[in-house]
Amino acid sequence: MSTTYLLRGVRPLGGDPADLLLQDGAIRRIEDTIDTDGLPEGTVVIEADGLVALPGLVDLHTHLREPGREDTETIASGTRAAAAGGFTAVHAMANTTPVADTAGVVEQVWRLGRDAGWVDVHPVGAVSVGLAGEQLAELGAMAHSAARVRVFSDDGKCVWDPVLMRRALEYVKAFDGVVAQHAQEPRLTEGAQMNEGVVSAEVGLQGWPAVAEEAIIARDVLLAEHVGSRLHVCHLSTAGSVELVRWAKGRGIDVTAEVTPHHLILTDELARGYDPRFKVNPPLRTQADVDAVREGLADGTIDIVATDHAPHAREDKDCEWAAAAFGMTGLETALSVVQQTMVDTGRMTWADVARVMSTNPARIGRIDTGEHAQGRPLEVGEPANLVLVDPAAVRTVDGAQQQTASVNTPFAGHELPGRVVATFLRGRATVLDGAPVETVGAAR
Ligand X SMILES: NC(=O)N[C@@H](CC(=O)O)C(=O)O
DSSP string, 111-162: HHHHHH-SSEEEEPBPSBGGG-SSSB--HHHHHTSTT---EE--TTS----H
Whether residue 385 is annotated as binding a ligand: the answer is no
327 marked ligand binding residue: yes
Is the bond into 98 cis (omega within 30 degrees of 0)? yes
Is there binding between residue 155 and Zn ion (CB under 5 A)?
yes
Does the annotation place 352 within a ligand binding site? Answer: no
The least CB distance from residue 189 to Zn ion, in Å, is: 12
Bridge-partner residues for 45, per DSSP? 6
Could you confirm whether 308 is annotated as catalytic?
A: yes
59, 101, 154, 308: the catalytic one is 308
Which of Zn ion, ligand X, none does residue 280 bind to, with CB < 5 to 8 Å depending on kind? Answer: ligand X
CB of 327 or CB of 436, closer to ligand X: 327
The burial of 73, by beta-carbon neighbours within 10 Å (0-12 exposed, 13-18 middle, 19 or more buried), is given as buried
Whose Cβ is closer to Zn ion: residue 189's or residue 403's?
189
What is the DSSP secondary-structure string of 314-348? GGGTSS-GGGSPP-B--TTTHHHHHIIIIITTTS-
CB nearer to ligand X: pick between 93 and 354? 93
What, of ligand X, Zn ion, none, does residue 303 touch, CB below 5 to 8 Å by kind?
A: none
Q: How far is the CB of 403 from ligand X (least distance, A)?
A: 18
Q: How far is the CB of 428 from Zn ion (least distance, A)?
A: 29
What is the helix, strand, coil percentage profile of the chain, to 5?
30, 20, 45
Distance CA 83, CA 332 (A): 8
Is residue 95 annotated as involved in ligand binding? yes
Helices 210-227 and 162-172, axial angle in degrees (round to 10): 50
- The residues binding ligand X (CB under 6 A) are 63, 95, 155-156, 182, 280-281, 308, 310, 326-327
**Is residue 195 annotated as involved in ligand binding?**
no
**Which of the ranges 151-159, 238-246, 355-363, 369-377 carries the binding residues for Zn ion, by CB under 5 A?**
151-159
Q: Give the C-alpha separation, 155 to 229, whole Å.
A: 19
How many chain residues interact with Zn ion (CB under 5 A)?
3
With CB under 5 to 8 Å by kind, the binding choice for 327 among ligand X, Zn ion, none is: ligand X
Distance in Å, CB of 308 to Zn ion, minimum: 4
Element (H, E) at 210: helix 210-227
Element (H, E) at 201: helix 198-203
Q: Is 326 annotated as a binding residue?
A: yes
Q: Which residues are annotated as a binding site for substrate?
A: 63-65, 95, 281, 312, 326-327
Binding site for Zn ion (CB under 5 A): 155, 182, 308
Q: Which residues are annotated as a binding site for Zn(2+)?
A: 61, 63, 155, 182, 235, 308
Catalytic residue set: 308
Q: Which residues are annotated as a binding site?
A: 61, 63-65, 95, 155, 182, 235, 281, 308, 312, 326-327
